[in-house]
Amino acid sequence: MTRPPAPFVTFPLVALILASCGGEDTPGLVERSLSESEKSFRIVETSMDRFRYSSQPSAESAEASGGASEGLVYDTPEGWTEKPGSTMRDINFTFGPKGEGECYVARLPGAGGGLAANVNRWRGQMAAAPLTEEEVAALPTRPLFGQPARFVSVDGSFSPGMGSDQSFPDYRLMGLIVSVEAGAVFVKMTGPKALVEQNSAAFDQFINSLTVNTN
């Protein structure tokens, strides 16, 4: 069952994403701590104080953490398995009978090439034609960490890249991108089309549960 987003209060200059996380296969609330270097990555433009976002930990997460350090709090959907993170993936899940579905959170300092470049990079992985700047701007949005994130959904033959020459037909890529001058954040899900469709509610549950414990 999807947990609604936690209530929001405003905090300026809050660090967004945490670092690589260890595996934890039990569904439910998870909290990760931020290292000092990770706290330096922010999804705000400090000079203009424009991109503030708000978060307040749930009562359960506050109790679990003892009201201590900052960290990312999220729900692990049923049937999803958390895998160790990496330098490219801060939170990393697999799902499906053979773990063929993936969902992860990643971030880049700076604008990460810009919104259109990142949308079209994803579309290129699916052998889909690029969108114009106007078409990218017209994509629907969903909230992510209090920011309007562009929602991308595209079907095709998936090529993971990263030195791989494999291609997986009849796949679906679905995800969210926040891209501002201070940094870019991605939540990306890929897998066989039917499997991704079956996990669309779990995807919503996950992104709706993402909050930052600022205690």
Q: What is the 3-state secondary structure (H, E, C) of the chain?
A: CCCCCCCCCEECCCECCCCCCCCCCCCEEEEEECCHHHHCCECCCCCCCCCCEECCCCHHHHHHHCCCCCEEEEEECCCCEEECCCCCCCEEEEECCCCCEEEEEEEEECCCCCHHHHHHHHHHHCCCCCCCHHHHHCCCEEEECCEEEEEEEEEEEECCCCCCCCCEEEEEEEEEEEEECCEEEEEEEEEEHHHHHHCHHHHHHHHHHCEEECC
Say yes or no to pLDDT of 6 above 60: no
**4 in a structural domain:** no
**105 in a structural domain:** yes
Q: How many domains does the chain have?
A: 1
Q: What domain range is 185 assigned to?
A: 10-213
The tens digit of pLDDT for each residue in 117-130 reads: 999 999 999 999 99
**37 in a structural domain:** yes
**2 in a structural domain:** no
Kindly report the pTM of this predicted structure: 0.70
pLDDT for position 200? 98
Say yes or no to pLDDT of 64 above 60: no
**5 in a structural domain:** no
**152 in a structural domain:** yes
**138 in a structural domain:** yes
Say yes or no to pLDDT of 137 above 90: yes
- Provide the mean pLDDT of the chain: 74
The burial class, CB within 10 Å (0-12 / 13-18 / 19+), for 63 is exposed
Say yes or no to pLDDT of 167 above 80: yes
| Average pLDDT value for residue range 123-138 | 97
Question: Would you say 72 and 212 are in contact if contact means Cβ atoms under 8 Å apart?
Answer: yes
Question: Would you say 202 and 101 are in contact if contact means Cβ atoms under 8 Å apart?
Answer: no
